[in-house]
């Protein structure tokens, strides 16, 4: 999906990353706000402006490096803050905030795939939409990994027993380094690739 990167593809990919992660983080902030927490709004994160969400290394440099070395972008934006003391439904409210981001990427992937299916095969707009679709599917799948601080971990946390919650809290400060290490050594056993391919094959 992301092989044979040329200058145009790289530009499209970077722009797609900025759009996709901005919507992703905005949805975290919006759902948190709707559930009674104004922390993200006060921090300026209830916005679609990419400058509010991007981290120079995690959002731009890291995905380019991982794209070159492992063939798929691994990336993250600045985490959207929330105060669990203000969120309705306690841990389940936190899970709703977490899942809102990945679901927005899945929705964007579905929409862009539908539009691409209406275009001429091989046309430039179709190629751009295919990149956008593939990126959003990758973000959706990657963020569902149940290792802190990824969104999937927050969903798991809401339903996990106490000892598992305590373990997740202990590893959270090191979670992203664990994830990057596992990605580079292929520690997920191709699960991410298989899920990406399964979703892409299901889309139009």
> Considering the entire predicted model, what is its pTM?
0.90
Decide if pLDDT at 1 tops 90: no
In angstroms, rounded to a whole number, what is the distance separating the alpha carbons of residues 188 and 59? 22
Interacting residues of 153 by C-beta distance below 8 A, sequence separation 6+: 98, 145, 146, 147, 168, 172, 175
Question: What residue spans define the domains of the chain?
Answer: 7-202
pLDDT of residue 112: 97
From CA 20, how far away is CA 50, in angstroms rounded? 9
25 is catalytic: yes
Contact 97, 28 (CB under 8 A): yes
Residue with tokens 């691409």: 116
18-34 pLDDT, tens digit each: 999 999 999 999 999 99
- Cα 190 from chain centre: 18
pLDDT tens digits along 38-47: 999 999 999 9
The tokens describing 149, both together, are 């601080």
d(CA 168, CA 150): 11
Q: What is the pLDDT of residue 188?
A: 73
Q: What are 153-183's pLDDT values in tens digits?
A: 999 999 999 999 999 999 999 998 898 888 7
pLDDT in tens, 181-191: 887 777 676 78
The contacts of residue 162 (CB under 8 Å, 6+ apart) are none
Kindly state the average pLDDT of the residues 114-143: 94
**pLDDT one-digit tens code per residue, 100-127:** 999 999 999 999 999 999 998 999 999 9
pLDDT (average), residues 93-103: 97
pLDDT at 176: 83
Residue 51 has pLDDT above 60, yes or no: yes
Percent of the chain with pLDDT over 90: 67
The DSSP secondary structure of the chain, one letter per residue, reads ---S--HHHHHHHHHHHHHHHHHHHHHHHHHHHHTT--HHHHTT-SS--GGGT--IIIIIIHHHHHHHHHSS-----PPPP--TTTSTTHHHHHHHHHHHHHHHHHHHHHHHHHHHHTSPTT-HHHHHHHHHHHHHHHHHHHHTSSSTTSHHHHHHHHHS-HHHHHHHHHHGGGHHHHHHHHHHTTTTTTHHHHHHHHHHHH--
Question: What pLDDT does 116 receive?
Answer: 97
């Amino acid at each position: 999906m992301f092989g044979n990167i040329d200058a145009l593809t790289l530009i499209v990919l970077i722009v797609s990353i900025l759009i996709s992660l901005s919507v992703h983080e905005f949805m975290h902030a919006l759902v948190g706000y709707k559930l009674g927490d104004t922390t993200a709004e006060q921090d300026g994160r209830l916005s679609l402006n990419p400058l509010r969400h991007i981290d120079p290394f995690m959002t731009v440099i890291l995905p380019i490096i991982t794209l070159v070395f492992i063939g798929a972008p691994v990336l993250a934006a600045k985490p959207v803050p929330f105060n669990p003391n203000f969120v309705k439904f306690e841990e389940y409210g936190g899970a709703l905030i977490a899942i809102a981001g990945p679901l927005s990427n899945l929705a964007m992937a579905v929409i862009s795939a539908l539009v691409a299916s209406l275009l001429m095969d091989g046309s430039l707009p179709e190629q751009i939409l295919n990149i956008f679709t593939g990126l959003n599917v990758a973000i959706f799948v990657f963020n569902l990994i149940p290792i802190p601080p990824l969104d999937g971990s927050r969903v798991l946390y809401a339903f996990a027993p106490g000892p598992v919650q305590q373990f997740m809290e202990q590893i959270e400060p090191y979670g992203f380094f664990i994830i990057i290490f596992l990605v580079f050594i292929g520690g997920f056993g191709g699960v991410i690739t298989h899920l990406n391919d399964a979703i892409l094959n299901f889309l139009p």
